[in-house]
Structure 1
């Protein structure tokens, strides 16, 4: 059962959300404001796979509720989809800074709502499965000083990501970002799936089918992603290199691109990885090599303290 929490002070909006998503097999639990929503979350009665959140509400608004969710170790992984009429760059940036995973501006189509919810739920389920591997006797990896790996497929990236995360001080926080950068290197780098192609494949639910097809073709079957891990007293550095043509990575790390793609099903992954998972993320070699840096000089990550302010 896939459970969603919808939060809006307008009953008509809750009805539309419920009707749009119940027909697709989702169970929608409704709350009229942030306070009621947090009470429902805190009750622990059910696991929620995504939260659809209005911004302007009485008692506790959407931004305040989002910040409470992201400060909670128990709930912070749940993807939050903002749906609001506040569509300025400033408004969207504030929502994204608070930890929103998607940003829908009203009015929006039911079809778009369904696609984005499905994408958010898929992300949450993949993350939870990967986190299960974080606790399978890999604590000794915290002592790893260096290592080198080669992977080809999405399955292999999901095997490697928990291992790399376990070698870092805050495995659960870096796991999502590592998965995103590895998948990006395989899908867009080695397999050459363009942004537009991914949009069309995702909308037709054929993305994984196309990934598997390309992995078996002569053009792509011998390509691999090289991953290196290095630790010193000050930081951890992870380099992820693909054999693709490169890409305009600066465009995807800009706040302008983030707000532009905030209400699309993809295109904001590396931005969110840099913001939420790492202390720094940059690219070299025309976008073929990602360099992830995790600061070891502070016991508590700067990113974590940002959420706790």
Structure 2
């Protein structure tokens, strides 16, 4: 754990991000790439953001990116994930599923904009979307999903970011974090 935290801290301090920047990244349906991208995105943040806040942003982005891969690109629903997660073969299931023809060409796109007062990320996946109103409502309920090993990504993002907005289809989420 220390080496991961230390590596994250080193990555954050290694880049002195400009006060204003914008860009786009695209990854395939791969949760490992999603995790790596969350680290890369945080390395772009202004150095004035303290390590605790930067780590929170990384965790929020990681959850949203993994949701985009799992539930969007790979179309793994909540119930299916619950069933497979019980067998401890979930990672293997994802690795095999991302090779299937119907999923392997799908992507997750992240657009970002960094300004002095805020950072904005838009994460869009190649899936059909989901009923974000229902899931967001459930995530706002106190401890509604606390007993589960998964299902807390939306709840976490609602706590970390100042604004969380989904498009109508539910395959794109825009999050905003105020810096000042």
Partner of 2:99: 216
- 1:141 paired with 2:17, answer yes
What is the deviation of 1:253?
Answer: 2.0
Return the structure number with greater relative CO, CA threshold 8 A, min gap 6.
2
8 A contact 1:228–1:239 mirrored in 2: yes
- Kindly provide the CA deviation profile for residues 272-301 of structure 1, in whole angstroms up to 9, marking residues without a partner as x: 1221x21121211421001010112x2xxx
Q: Distance in 2 between matches of 1:240 and 1:267?
A: 18
Q: How many residues align?
A: 171
What is the deviation of 1:206?
Answer: 1.3
Aligned partner (choices 161, 176, 180) of residue 38 of structure 2? 161
- Kindly provide the CA deviation profile for residues 224-272 of structure 1, in whole angstroms up to 9, marking residues without a partner as x: 0010011234321100000111111122222565532121111121111
Q: Distance in 2 between matches of 1:185 and 1:244?
A: 8
The aligned runs of 1:20-169 (5 Å cut-off) are: 129=4, 132-136=7-11, 138-141=14-17, 143=19, 145-152=21-28, 153-168=30-45, 169=49
Partner of 1:286: 169
8 A contact 1:252–1:267 mirrored in 2: no
Relative to the length of structure 2, the TM-score reads 0.85
Larger radius of gyration: 1
What is the deviation of 1:142?
Answer: 5.3
Aligned partner (choices 273, 278, 286) of residue 157 of structure 2? 273
Unpaired runs of 5+ in structure 1? 1-124, 299-309
Unpaired runs of 5+ in structure 2? none
Q: Distance in 2 between matches of 1:263 and 1:130?
A: 26
Q: List, as ranges, runs of 4+ consecutive aligned residues in structure 1 with deviation greater than 4 Å.
A: 255-258
- 1:184 paired with 2:67, answer yes
What is the deviation of 1:143?
Answer: 4.5
Relative to the length of structure 1, the TM-score reads 0.51
The verdict on how the C-alpha distance between 1:167 and 1:221 changes in structure 2, with shifts beyond 3 A counting, is same
